[in-house]
Amino acid sequence: MAVGLLGTAASGLQAFQRALSVTGDNINNANTEGYSRQRIELAARASTFTGQGYIGSGVKVQGIERMFDQFTVDRLRDTTSSSSQYETFFEFSGRVANLLGDADAGLSAGLNSFFDAVQTVADDPASIPARQLMLAESDSLIARFHTLDSQLDSMRSEINGSMGSIVVEINGLSSAIADANRGIADATSQGSGAVPNDLLDKRDNLINQLSELVSVRTVQQNDGAVNVFVGSGQSLVTGYLASPLQTVSGSFDSSRTEITMGNGGSATVVTNNLNGGKLGAILDFRDQVLNPAQNSLGRIAVSLATEFNQQHTLGMDLAGAVGLDYFSITTPLVADSTANTGAAAVTASFDSANIDDLTTEDYVLGFNAGVWSASRASDGQSVAMTGTGTAADPFIFDGLSIEVAGIAAAGDRFQIRATRSGSSDMGLLLSNPREIAAATLAAAAAPGDNSNALLLAGLQSGQTMENGATNFQGAYGQLIAELGTQTRSAQIAAEAQGALLVQAQESRDSLSGVNLDEEAANLLRFQQAYSAVAQVISVANSTFQTLINAVGR
């Protein structure tokens, strides 16, 4: 009888010691990111049959449960992805908007000063200082184009660098997840069904970190391993195996970094399939903000230079000579795809007669079934073009003139970045102030004639962009409004996603998070239970002692 009581009490001591140690573990990990609180499950031990009936034989630890719900964890992961995506997008696009929208450093002030200087020449066309001022203001306008453009360029290199480091981070996380998969599967089989809670937490935390970088989907396997998919279903982790991502230079443009998956010959470009998280944000930023902004700035440079040159060459300089080209611009960038097999060469130039048709798009010129066709790079929509592509009759579309020489193979593709380098290629051709063609072309020099200078100054308000819908400054205003709107909506989305993230975190924590008050209460509860059980031992002991004493007398 007393021996039975001792046994029962011993089971209690053991159980409550376990309970105290689980509580202690929870308290210790109250500040551990991703830790799920654990709960001890106690159960009565099987009772034994005596003549008087079944008598209980104590308590046992049924298991240690990890408080966890897959749904809340998935939701937390999704909101982490979108939150970090919008946060990053907002940060990057805000930088471009602030750079170009700055009242002093932006293009707007430079355009104003330049045209003011043209007006000054119109006021006093024979004045050499006025002409020198106009050249100086032209120089600083060009410097402004160059500075803004190089800042956008350096953001591109920054993005390429970020893509590289994010890919390294993703690879590290995915191989850690694969390792955790193996550890969990091993521990589960060794523990005959019991799961290693800390490893599960660790893996969940890794996947959560991964979701900050790129959006992920997981599928649970029977052996406890999870398969992780990124983007539109690319398998990043399969069981114990992680497929590494890699960064490579783009097939058209070596300054454009692409991401591939798989090794060697089987590597495929997955850039367009990746979305969500920091990586998704950077890729979106590159295609939706950075490239269009640089094209937009370049378009203003190309339009301004072309229009100004056209008017300038209609005039006459101080010496009575016909006006020369004022600004220099080069041609649109054309890149062959590295996959091309034909021998065709494509050259592009600006179609100065239709320069107001110029857009901010990049184009792809493709040769299929014996026919050349053009489409927009952004959305693949085809663009109508006229001409046959020969030197005498070039393809004409959207302010561009394209000439094709040599024989192309079916499937050959050429990318035309019409205005990407417009800003950086802009230069000033005139260096002698006397060569400014302020006068209208006449039989003899007319130093006091300002007619052409008036027409040059008038270009400021000329509706020469967007098919004659706006002027240079207006096109710039549109760019700023667009950047502002993109940044603003990213900001709003980031705030909304931030709130959702807090909610998801809250609902995950309301189940899995450690609450110190609760643990303190549990500590008290189990400590008291332990003391009570110790009391039972003491009673068992004294009962036994009573018996010994009685017998010994």
Packing angle between helix 128-190 and helix 107-123, nearest 10 degrees? 170
> 49, 52, 103, 379: which one contacts another protein (CB under 8 A)?
103
When asked if residue 126 is in the footprint of another protein (CB under 8 A), the reply is yes
* Chain centroid, CA 67 distance in Å: 34
The piece of 136-144, 345-353, 498-506, 535-543 that touches another protein (CB under 8 A) is 498-506
**CB closer to another protein out of 214 and 436:** 436
> 15, 22, 59, 122: which one contacts another protein (CB under 8 A)?
122
Q: How far is the CB of 450 from another protein (least distance, A)?
A: 5
Q: How far is the CB of 503 from another protein (least distance, A)?
A: 11
Containing 507, the helix (H) or strand (E) segment is: helix 472-512
Residue from 73, 397, 394 nearest 220 by CA:
73
Q: How far is the CB of 111 from another protein (least distance, A)?
A: 7
When asked if residue 270 is in the footprint of another protein (CB under 8 A), the reply is no
When asked if residue 524 is in the footprint of another protein (CB under 8 A), the reply is yes
When asked if residue 98 is in the footprint of another protein (CB under 8 A), the reply is yes
Beta carbons within 8 Å of 327's beta carbon, 6+ residues apart: 138, 142, 304, 305, 308, 309, 426, 427, 428, 429
> 1, 43, 194, 520: which one contacts another protein (CB under 8 A)?
520
When asked if residue 482 is in the footprint of another protein (CB under 8 A), the reply is yes
Cα torsion through 60, 66, 70, 72, rounded to 10? 120
When asked if residue 505 is in the footprint of another protein (CB under 8 A), the reply is yes
Q: Return d(Cα 36, Cα 58) in angstroms, integer.
A: 29
User: Residue 498 has which token pair?
Assistant: 């931030």
What DSSP assignment string belongs to 261-313? Answer: ESSGGG-EE-GGG--SHHHHHHHHHIIIIIHHHHHHHHHHHHHHHHHHHHHHT
When asked if residue 313 is in the footprint of another protein (CB under 8 A), the reply is no
Phi-psi region of 467 (alpha: psi -120 to 50; beta: other; left: phi over 0): left
When asked if residue 497 is in the footprint of another protein (CB under 8 A), the reply is no
Residue from 133, 106, 128 nearest 118 by CA:
133
> 151, 175, 337, 515: which one contacts another protein (CB under 8 A)?
515
When asked if residue 460 is in the footprint of another protein (CB under 8 A), the reply is yes
Beta carbons within 8 Å of 381's beta carbon, 6+ residues apart: 375
What x/- string results for residues 426 through 455 when contact with another protein is judged by CB under 8 A?
-------------x----x-xxxxxx--x-
* Chain centroid, CA 483 distance in Å: 16
Q: Return d(Cα 156, Cα 282) in angstroms, integer.
A: 10
The piece of 372-380, 388-396, 510-518, 528-536 that touches another protein (CB under 8 A) is 510-518
Q: How far is the CB of 39 from another protein (least distance, A)?
A: 12
Residue from 111, 16, 21 nearest 465 by CA:
111
* Sign of the C-alpha dihedral computed for residues 84, 87, 90 and 93 taken in this order: negative
Strands (E), 111-250: 216-220, 226-230, 234-238, 241-242, 245-249
Q: How far is the CB of 288 from another protein (least distance, A)?
A: 15
When asked if residue 115 is in the footprint of another protein (CB under 8 A), the reply is yes
Beta carbons within 8 Å of 173's beta carbon, 6+ residues apart: 206, 207, 209, 210, 213
Q: Return d(Cα 241, Cα 175) in angstroms, integer.
A: 7
* Sign of the C-alpha dihedral computed for residues 256, 261, 262 and 267 taken in this order: negative
When asked if residue 506 is in the footprint of another protein (CB under 8 A), the reply is yes
**CB closer to another protein out of 123 and 393:** 123
* Sign of the C-alpha dihedral computed for residues 29, 30, 34 and 39 taken in this order: positive
Count residues binding another protein (CB under 8 A). 67
When asked if residue 456 is in the footprint of another protein (CB under 8 A), the reply is no
Q: How far is the CB of 474 from another protein (least distance, A)?
A: 7
**CB closer to another protein out of 104 and 379:** 104
**CB closer to another protein out of 63 and 458:** 458
> 409, 410, 516, 548: which one contacts another protein (CB under 8 A)?
516
CB 358 within 8 A of CB 398: yes
Beta carbons within 8 Å of 153's beta carbon, 6+ residues apart: 294, 424
When asked if residue 104 is in the footprint of another protein (CB under 8 A), the reply is no
Q: How many CB atoms lie within 10 A of CB 318?
A: 21
When asked if residue 467 is in the footprint of another protein (CB under 8 A), the reply is no
The piece of 9-17, 236-244, 423-431, 520-528 that touches another protein (CB under 8 A) is 520-528
CB 335 within 8 A of CB 345: no
> 23, 88, 108, 296: which one contacts another protein (CB under 8 A)?
108
**CB closer to another protein out of 116 and 336:** 116
When asked if residue 293 is in the footprint of another protein (CB under 8 A), the reply is no
When asked if residue 513 is in the footprint of another protein (CB under 8 A), the reply is yes
Residue from 360, 347, 300 nearest 327 by CA:
300
Q: How far is the CB of 23 from another protein (least distance, A)?
A: 12
Q: How far is the CB of 440 from another protein (least distance, A)?
A: 9
When asked if residue 158 is in the footprint of another protein (CB under 8 A), the reply is no
Q: Give every strand in the sheet of 241-242, ordered side by side.
A: 216-220, 226-230, 234-238, 241-242
Q: How far is the CB of 144 from another protein (least distance, A)?
A: 14
The piece of 136-144, 269-277, 505-513, 531-539 that touches another protein (CB under 8 A) is 505-513
Contacts to another protein by CB under 8 A: 30-31, 33, 94, 97-98, 100-101, 103, 108-109, 111-113, 115-116, 119-120, 122-127, 439, 444, 446-451, 454, 457-458, 460-461, 473-474, 476-478, 480-485, 487-488, 491, 502, 505-506, 509-510, 512-518, 520-521, 523-524
